[in-house]
């Protein structure tokens, strides 16, 4: 028997022998009095054990007060989508179909369409299939502004919001931002609605308690608890990845739901899970509140998001590059391409430059640079420290507005983040270093 198994048995033996030991110690006392004292001691041991259990239970946190406070602001989102039957089969029955196979299928379909048209025949349009995407969301304004994930309402022809009291309202899509997987909806209830407030996600720490509330598998609002397991996670679903990793259970249908701190403030928007089987394995990802809030404010005010842009293609700095370029360390981002006529080209950037800092902010890792540039005001002149020719120097590009398709050069498939990010489930194959455009 190992120690872990032996200790409880030993404790039980000692407790059981306590009355006998007491009887021996009080040999000068009558047998009845010894028995009475033994009974008192036995009850005392039992009472102390029960007291320990009660104390432990009392010290465990109860989330009920927070849940009562925030639950009315968490909603279910139902989006009616119309998809081609081929798309439905690809995403449903053949979910493991690779992007290359999908592109090949589309190319063949295009060739077939052209062949039929050359023969004077028209290709029959693919039948549309109606599907309902179920997700979650939360109200951030008493006027009825609702936050959810972009992939919940993507291709939606009709969106319905269901409140905790089962009241249903049609929703209008105010704006969407596929690059951060955020969407802002609006409902008109005719009266002020319960809402929640944003928290400060930058002040959260690994190990802090969090609550995730959402609509898993189409069920009503469900609460799960856990802790922040990690910060600054990059799952390569987009150029601005900076996720909170949480171990609170998140499943299909939780997308767009809030992550709360113990004060009832929203510190994240649930958006993806790592799962080999489609269910929760304790690794979920939430968009930090401090990243989501400015995006949603732009969607509310403009209906779209504008971002800063330089026109560069960048790659990580590797140990081999450090040695070859004489760099002082592995911090920074390597410029692999410069777009012709871009703000970076006008400022004098060259392929092979290593960007070390921007406006005094050190770039520790490559993926910090796209987010830093994107958040800068349009038209602002930036001070960018670069490493070139074994020495540091400064360039001063003017930040421009990112175009709709920020392609700066021909890129291998899968290396540009210009397309629609897949955020439903982070797969192991996505955990790779990739280049990025800024």
Q: Is 59 a catalytic residue?
A: no
151 is catalytic: yes
Tokens of 224: 């799960």
From the list 269, 280, 205, 220, the residue with the least C-alpha distance to 243 is: 269
Class of domain 308-437: mainly beta
Q: Is 255 a catalytic residue?
A: yes
Query: What is the C-alpha to C-alpha distance for residues 359 and 343, in angstroms, rounded to an integer?
Result: 16
Active site residue: 136, 201, 225, 255, which one? Answer: 255
Catalytic annotation, pick one of 149, 151, 357, 435: 151
pLDDT one digit per residue (tens) for the chain, 438 residues: 444 444 333 333 333 444 444 344 334 444 444 444 344 334 343 344 444 444 454 566 799 999 999 999 999 999 998 765 545 443 332 333 334 444 545 555 565 556 556 555 555 555 566 788 899 999 999 999 999 999 999 989 999 999 999 999 999 999 999 999 999 999 999 999 999 999 999 999 999 999 999 999 888 889 999 999 999 898 877 788 889 999 999 998 999 999 999 999 999 999 988 888 778 888 999 999 999 999 999 999 999 999 999 999 999 998 888 888 888 888 899 999 999 999 999 999 999 999 999 999 999 888 889 989 999 999 999 999 999 988 999 999 999 999 877 654 333 333 333 334 334 444 332 223 346 778
Helices (H), 201-277: none
How many helices (H) and strands (E) in the chain? 10, 21
Name every residue whose Cβ is closer than 8 Å to that of residue 231 and which is 6 or more positions away in sequence.
204, 206, 244, 245
For β-strands 284-288 and 308-309, DSSP reports them as unpaired
Q: Which position among 181, 241, 242, 261 bears the catalytic label?
A: 181
Residue 201, token pair as written in the block: 């996600």
Q: What is the pTM of this model?
A: 0.69
Q: How far apart are CA 155 and CA 148, in angstroms?
A: 14
Cα 269 from Cα 296, distance rounded (Å):
12
Domain residue ranges in the chain = 1-43, 60-305, 308-437
Q: What is the CATH number of domain 60-305?
A: 2.40.10.120
CA distance 181 to 149: 5
Question: What is the rounded (10 degree) CA torsion for 83, 105, 135, 278?
Answer: 140
Judged by DSSP in three states, 391 sits in strand
Task: Name the burial class of residue 180, with classes exposed (0-12), middle (13-18) and buried (19+) by CB atoms within 10 angstroms of its CB.
Answer: buried
């Amino acid at each position: 028997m190992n120690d872990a198994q032996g200790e409880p048995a030993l404790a039980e033996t000692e407790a059981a022998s306590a009355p006998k030991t007491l009887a021996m110690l009080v040999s000068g006392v009558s047998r009845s009095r010894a028995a009475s004292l033994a009974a008192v001691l036995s009850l005392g041991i039992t009472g102390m054990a029960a007291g320990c259990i009660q104390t432990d239970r009392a010290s465990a946190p109860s989330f009920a007060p927070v849940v009562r406070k925030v639950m009315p602001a968490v909603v279910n989102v139902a989006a009616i989508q119309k998809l081609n039957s081929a798309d439905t089969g690809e995403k449903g029955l053949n979910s493991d179909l690779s992007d290359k196979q999908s592109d090949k299928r589309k190319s063949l379909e295009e060739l077939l369409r052209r062949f039929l048209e050359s023969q004077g025949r028209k290709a029959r349009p693919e039948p549309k299939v109606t599907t309902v995407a179920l997700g979650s969301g939360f109200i951030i304004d008493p006027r009825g502004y609702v936050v959810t994930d972009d992939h919940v309402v993507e291709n939606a022809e009709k969106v319905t919001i269901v409140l905790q009291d089962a009241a249903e309202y049609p929703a209008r899509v105010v704006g969407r931002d596929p690059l951060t997987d955020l969407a802002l909806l609006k409902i008109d209830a005719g009266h002020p609605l319960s809402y929640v407030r944003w928290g400060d996600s930058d002040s959260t720490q690994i190990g802090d308690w969090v609550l995730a509330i959402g609509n898993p598998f189409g069920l009503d609002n469900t609460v799960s608890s856990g802790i922040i397991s990690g910060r600054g996670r990059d799952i390569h679903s987009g150029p601005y990845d900076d996720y909170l990793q949480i171990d609170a259970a998140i499943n299909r249908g939780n997308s767009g739901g809030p992550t709360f701190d113990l004060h009832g403030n929203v510190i994240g928007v649930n958006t993806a899970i790592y799962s080999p089987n489609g269910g929760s394995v304790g690794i979920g990802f939430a968009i930090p509140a401090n990243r989501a809030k400015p995006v949603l404010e732009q969607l509310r005010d403009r209906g779209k998001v504008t971002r800063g842009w330089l026109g560069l293609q960048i790659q990580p700095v590797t140990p081999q590059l450090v040695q070859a370029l004489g760099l002082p360390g592995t911090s920074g981002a390597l410029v692999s391409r410069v777009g012709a006529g871009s703000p970076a080209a006008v400022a004098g950037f060259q392929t092979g430059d290593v960007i070390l800092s921007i406006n005094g902010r050190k770039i520790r890792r490559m993926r910090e640079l796209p987010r830093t540039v994107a958040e800068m005001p349009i038209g602002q002149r930036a001070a960018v420290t670069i490493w070139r020719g074994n020495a540091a120097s400064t360039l001063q590009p003017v930040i421009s507005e990112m175009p709709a398709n920020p392609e700066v050069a021909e890129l291998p498939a899968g290396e540009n983040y210009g397309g629609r990010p897949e955020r439903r489930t982070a797969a192991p194959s996505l955990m790779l270093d990739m280049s990025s455009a800024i």
